[in-house]
Chains A and B, each alone.
Chain A
Amino acid sequence: MQTLVAYVENKPGVLNRVSSLARRLAINIDSLTVGPTENEEIARMTIVAHTDEKGAHRLEASLEKLVDVLLAENISNRSILERDLALIKVLADQKNRPHLMELIKVFRARVVDVAPESLILEVSGTVDKIDGLLEVLRPFGVLEMARTGRIAMTRGGDLLRPPVVNEPEVSANPETRTGTTVAN
């Protein structure tokens, strides 16, 4: 599993270009999240892909060839923080509710909705943590689950910021052009 972060233009069709590219490269995406950044024109994606380092390099380099992708970076080998968020609706009758509440405490999940026969839990953390909670909830009866997929960020001073300056226009004639890296 490889984790990539990409900054993209925040406009229609970009998600399609990114997912279409992964499909073309025959790379299966495990999770893809998109959200706005502090700059409303730029969105940030976290892509978790079923591939090896070589595949991730190809995906990263190919993503950066898309005009609408400002930056793509494989952060799998860096020190990163990963978070996934899940809402889990679980069966909770009078009998098992106290036992359930204990587990919730251990996993630092929160009860966000209470109904006579069920609870909705909110839990965030690493994928392993959420998978672990899910495992122990299963015997109670998991009715529904929604997960956001992973978001990731490099730790500390390892910054991954969107680029802001562009290259000047190059000549349409390849024989006379100078800059060549505007759109590889």
Chain B
Amino acid sequence: MKLTGAEILCESLTKLGVKHIFGYPGGAILPVYDALGKSKLHHVLVRHEQGATHMADGYARASGEVGCAMATSGPGATNMVTGIATAMLDSSPVVCITGQVSSKVLGSDAFQEIDITGITMPITKHNVVVTRAEDIARTVREAFLIAASGRPGPVLVDITKDAQQASCEFDWDASAPKLPPKRQRINYDQAEFDRAVELLNSAKRPLILAGHGIIVSGAMKAFEQFVRAGNYPVAMTLLGIGCFPAKDPLNLGMMGMHGEAWVNNAIQESDLLIAVGMRFDDRVTGDLRTYAKSARKIHIEIDRAEINKNVQVDAALVGDAREVLEKLTPHIETRDHGVWLRHIQESKGDSAVRDIQSLPDNGHLYAAHVINDIWKETRGEAIVVTDVGQHQMWEAQYYHHNLPRTLITSGGLGTMGFALPAAIGVKFAKPDAEVWVVVGDGGFQMTMSELATIVQEKINIKIAIINNGFLGMVRQWQEFFYDKRYVATPLVAPDFAALANAFGIRGERISTRNEVIPAIRAARQSNETVLFDFRVEQEDSVYPMVAAGASLHDMIRRPDSPLVETATEP
């Protein structure tokens, strides 16, 4: 069967199980769009290509399958860069397809020509230029394979316009991936495994550091069995949230810069850290010189390059989290950590009284209240997509996730503007799920044009803007470390409710505590998108906080004087 390169691309994507493509057309990708129109693939027209990549990323994170974004050459492709880097840093399987100028003019600075494979080389798992129709099917299959296998990541396929237009024989079976042969490494030897088992069975104060790798590996069940077998307390990274139910007494909550105090203290006091699918990012370790000095470390990680990168470990088990955990669990003999668990519980009590939830409810609106109310009203069952900043940390602290893939957030790159477009992708991955966007007034203004995409696609998501009139996290740093010199952080915003209305979306401003729950309830009744502009306390800060480069136990705690005394009227 003879098809054009563009038709082959659409056929291949269909055969690979793609249902939705998030993209934006343009000259160099037009043949593909023409073929898209004749295919069964659903194309979501975005308002900016960054949005397309975040949507594909959100789709991938919510479904566990490869997300697909598309753009034209030149500016279309360069607009994808932030989204690609976001996917790279969080190991999200995304395939980006870009149009490229005709191979005959490649290298001539033709209109909208840019070397996008050169630009994205350090932020993709792999990328490739295709100049012949004959190579499209195989290359796209390879791209999906690379994106999803091992430690997932983004792959970019740049297809020249003449390759899209040329016709050739389409033979799916003959176009199977032909990746270069790889040396198969022995991930760990028996001695390494035995050392890990020995450490597990001799620890008095063990603690698991649970990361994103557990979710990516689909290791939730194996992980739970491992936790139960050893009766281990579990601390989560931001991206690990959801890999183990928040309601489980062994789940301590989030670690790191804005982790719970009892979690960070437990890490510092532990005598064995069992790191699973996490990479000892600087945001979770603080100062490495003082990090968990009394603890031995076991590292279970699929990416060999992560071993001993930041923290020197005593046993490294390289491999898929599920496989390694399934092997380890039968060897666990010690599970009596009662003294240790009670000790953690006691320090938890101390931290909990400083919790904002314990502050008197006097009508003032705090971000933590809003997020906690959303959690209660959705019974913790919604998929929450956050942006980056204070609201993101409050979400991690006050929305308690019991299921994997229900917190979608940009961790590694910390990309503001991620939430709204990512949530659109999430909704396409999980059309029946209740999807909430929790976003700051700063990040929302970065990609709010995607409201039009929501309207055009007639999808139903709930948007909670945590509006404090500041770039809040930066303001917090200025407050703590720059003597309250608020340079470039006070932020003028449009009337978000009116803005939503202009897009044809119901918008509402909420300024007091008692309006919150009724508003959330009404929104949940609606089968259309609703946007809330929550006017929260302007100068609230996220506590506890480990200053960048400080020791993990050296936390800035919420001042004892109740915050409400200094609050301004909303």
Contacts and interface: CB of A to CB of B under 8 A. Distances in A.
Interface of A: 9, 13, 16-17, 20-21, 24, 54, 57-58, 61-62, 64-71, 162-167, 169-175, 177, 179-184
Nearest to B17: A172
B491 interface: no
A20 B120 CA distance: 11
Interface string B115-152: 00110011001100000000000000100111111111
B219 to A, nearest CB: 11
* Top-5 shortest CB links A-B: A61-B305, A184-B150, A71-B183, A61-B304, A163-B183
A9 B182 CA distance: 11
Contacts of A172: 16-17, 65-66, 144-145, 147-148
B309 interface: yes
B93 interface: yes
Contacts, number: 116
Contacts of B352: none
Contacts of A16: 118, 121
B64 A183 contact: no
Contact of A181 (B147, B150, B176, B180): B150
A70 B183 contact: yes
* Interface size grouping (class) on chain B: 35 or more
Contact of B145 (A9, A163, A175, A182): A182
Contacts of A166: 179-182
A61 B307 contact: yes
B93 A174 contact: yes
B27 interface: no
A170 B176 CA distance: 11
Nearest to A67: B126
A30 to B, nearest CB: 21
A162 B216 CA distance: 30
B302 interface: yes
Most buried by B among A16, A54, A182: A182
Contact of B216 (A66, A68, A164, A174): A174
B65 A163 contact: no
B180 A70 contact: yes
Given A167-B182, A183-B125, A175 B64 contact: yes
B305 to A, nearest CB: 4
A13 to B, nearest CB: 8
B218 interface: yes
Nearest to B66: A172
B217 interface: yes
B176 A169 contact: yes
